[in-house]
Structure 1
Amino acid sequence: MAVGKRRRRTIGLEEQSLNSALREFRVNYELFKYRAIGKSICSEPFSTGGLMWRVNCYPSGRDGSHGGEYVSIFFELVSKSKSVHAIYEAFLIDKDRQPCHEVAYRSNAHLFETGSERGWSQFVARTELEEVYLTEGHFTFVCAIMVIRDSSIPVPPPDIGEQFSNLLDSSDGADISFVVDGETFHAHRAVLAARSLVFRAELLGSMAEATMSSITLHEITPATFRIMLQFVYTDALPGDDELWDSSTEMMQNLLAAADRYALDRLKLMCAQKLWDDVSVDTVTDTLACAKMYSCSELKSKCFDFFASEENFKKAVLTEGFVQLVQKFPSIMSELRERLGI
């Protein structure tokens, strides 16, 4: 093992810089083998990864958990800096000046803060050290520290939804308006057309709406249209606290609007929320909604609900089930086929 040019010595511990990564320490064990538990021999500070470090060797162990039967090796960050992650390793050198693979350790990445220590409490047993590795009362170990630099450039999370929401709220550049039950909503043709094939056909195609600056909508409430418009711009639904008291009714209305304007993702999001709230009292209304607006995924889930004998017996006695069968006569045959009854 080549010896570098630099050599530093403290009482009982001599350091040699082997190369830019490795450092060799020769410890006067005979002099310090009776040192108390928790008392270390410290190296001079050295630089690695642009930071100053120190190696602390505890001849009788760093703490008393092992009765002073082991030598401990620890690395200490000396520099006053922000916390850093580093990998460290150490191994003994045998009497033939060769690395000892039986006493060799390498850590995972660990967080260091100024003054903190990390290492091995049981680096080598004192009895093994004294019998195998001492040369003229000294033992030698080599260590290295590799500082892990965060080379990434922080990138903020996407905020396109928030930006489009602001665009909707401000009405800047709006070129189309919708009147719903006397309430006016301003929007942008290009955004609506990009998000919905139905809006594209109406606003950019050959339909009469393409030449209109204001369109009056029927069979939809202002609250439902507002939430749908927000979804079109942000691809997200408002929180439950913004859906008012009757969130189930709102989800049914919103699913209908999503079906009308071919907003498939919104349709499935509404279906999921309706399914989350399904019960014996609501399953018939939910199934009716699924049938009415061709939501096969929600319909299948409702059939799964009826597959429970207990649920089925309770649901068929509700007024909602009677209305469901009257509105969709084929539902009974579908249920029998699905449930095998």
Structure 2
Amino acid sequence: MDGACTNVTDAARLVRLLKVQGFSATECMKRIGGPDRYIPSRCTVDGYEWEVRIHPASKRGTDSTNLWVSLLLSLCSRPRESSVEASLACRLVHPSRILETFQEGSAAGTFSYAGECWHRVFLRRRDDLEGYLKDDTLTIQCAIAVLRPLPVPRIPAEEVPVPSSNLHQHLGDILQSKMGSDVTFLICNESFRAHKSILAARSPVFNAQFFGEMKEKSSRHVVIMDMEPEAFRAMIHFIYTDTVPELEKQEEVLTAMAQHLLAAADRYGVDRLKLICEAKLSRGITVDTAGTTLALAQQHNCSQLKTKCVKFIVSTPEVLDAVLATEGYKHLEASCPLVLTELLKSAHGRNAEA
């Protein structure tokens, strides 16, 4: 069966030939009441400094009669991470066949701090080195390998397309089908069925009516006074779907609907809908609508809409005169006489600037 090959590790490797000249004289380096002495050789592998320690006359275990040639690997640098993995492989090199292995040993370990050594590699007894010495020189080939783990290969995940939220569509379907409705509103001989929990979640006024101490708490029929059925229907639709299709109609129809809908939204505390209506009205102020829109803004605490209406009305003497002649201004005089003072002050200020 064919299969793919994947490298999961990498390694930095260094091979060196170490020569111990005057080998016969190293027998005096045997241990006498303490650790045996060694010959150091330093090198750098993978950015770390290492020391290979050659012990030419060391004891091995319980063998007290023979001396061995052994080597140790020591880390001289601090690990970049918590530890570093490394190994030491050694072999004696015959003078006549330099690349052929006649005696080999290896040791590997984890180095956690500078100065740490790992298992000793024993090559051969000193008495068995005949043939490996030339001119009283012993040659040892050492290979140091430092393990470098590769990042775990990751298969890039195919992104699963997630459709946009359609919660408003499902809630709109529930409103349309009237499935599970538990309250009916009566407005001007028209009825609207809805769900108390959804209305209460979106309106603090409905929440107080249905889950507070008001009389509608247990009632399944609620009569709404002083509201246009179309505005109430649009508000209920917004509560379920967070959309207002009625505000996408022609400008003349839009202004009237936005005015009625703003009043309904303010009445039931549907603040987002109120702001949407306020924004729509502020972009469509005309001579014919300025008076009624200003009265609406005053009555329902729409400060930004009110400011825009006042600025429009006093923008020029011609606009002011035209607004004063409309039915909307007469409605403003009758319903909000206090706002007229603000109009006069703004007009006077504009004249003073001119």
TM (norm. structure 1) is 0.52
SS of aligned partner of 1:153? coil
Do the aligned residues in 1 keep the contact of 2:259 with 2:277 (CA within 8 Å)? yes
Tell me by how many angstroms 1:191 deviates: 0.5
Do the aligned residues in 2 keep the contact of 1:194 with 1:200 (CA within 8 Å)? yes
SS of aligned partner of 2:265? helix
Report runs of 4+ in structure 1 exceeding 4 Å deviation. 239-245
1:330 corresponds to which of 338, 343, 347: 338
C-alpha separation in 2, matches of 1:267 and 1:208:
26
- Pick closer, same or farther for the CA change 1:323–1:224 going to 2, 3 Å: closer
Tell me by how many angstroms 1:242 deviates: 5.9
C-alpha separation in 1, matches of 2:301 and 2:272:
14
Tell me by how many angstroms 1:332 deviates: 2.4
C-alpha separation in 2, matches of 1:166 and 1:243:
26
C-alpha separation in 1, matches of 2:249 and 2:220:
30
Percent of aligned pairs sharing the same letter = 39
Q: Which residue of 1 is the match for residue 201 of structure 2?
A: 194
Q: Deviations over 1:99-139 (max 9, x none)?
A: xxxxxxxxxxxxxxxxxxxxxxxxxxxxxxxxxxxxxxxxx
1:257 corresponds to which of 260, 264, 274: 264
2:192 corresponds to which of 185, 196, 212: 185
Q: Confirm whether residue 318 of structure 1 aligns to residue 287 of structure 2.
A: no
C-alpha separation in 2, matches of 1:162 and 1:242:
21
Q: Which residue of 2 is the match for residue 286 of structure 1?
A: 293
2:164 corresponds to which of 157, 161, 173: 157
Q: How many residues align?
A: 193
- Pick closer, same or farther for the CA change 1:288–1:237 going to 2, 3 Å: same
1:226 corresponds to which of 220, 226, 233: 233
Do the aligned residues in 2 keep the contact of 1:224 with 1:250 (CA within 8 Å)? yes
C-alpha separation in 2, matches of 1:244 and 1:317:
22
The higher relative CO (CA closer than 8 Å, separation ≥ 6) is in 2
- Pick closer, same or farther for the CA change 1:217–1:327 going to 2, 3 Å: closer
Q: Deviations over 1:49-105 (max 9, x none)?
A: xxxxxxxxxxxxxxxxxxxxxxxxxxxxxxxxxxxxxxxxxxxxxxxxxxxxxxxxx
Tell me by how many angstroms 1:323 deviates: 3.6
SS of aligned partner of 1:178? strand
C-alpha separation in 2, matches of 1:289 and 1:159:
34
> Unpaired runs of 5+ in structure 2?
1-155
C-alpha separation in 2, matches of 1:283 and 1:240:
18
C-alpha separation in 2, matches of 1:323 and 1:169:
37
> Unpaired runs of 5+ in structure 1?
1-148
C-alpha separation in 2, matches of 1:271 and 1:262:
14
Q: Confirm whether residue 270 of structure 1 aligns to residue 261 of structure 2.
A: no
Tell me by how many angstroms 1:176 deviates: 1.2
Tell me by how many angstroms 1:240 deviates: 4.5
Tell me by how many angstroms 1:243 deviates: 7.8
Note the 1:86-105 alignment, pairs <5 A. Answer: none
C-alpha separation in 2, matches of 1:323 and 1:256:
16
TM (norm. structure 2) is 0.50
C-alpha separation in 1, matches of 2:330 and 2:192:
39
Q: Which residue of 1 is the match for residue 179 of structure 2?
A: 172
Q: Which residue of 1 is the match for residue 315 of structure 2?
A: 308
Do the aligned residues in 2 keep the contact of 1:243 with 1:250 (CA within 8 Å)? no
Q: Confirm whether residue 246 of structure 1 aligns to residue 256 of structure 2.
A: no
Aligned-pair RMSD on alpha carbons? 2.3
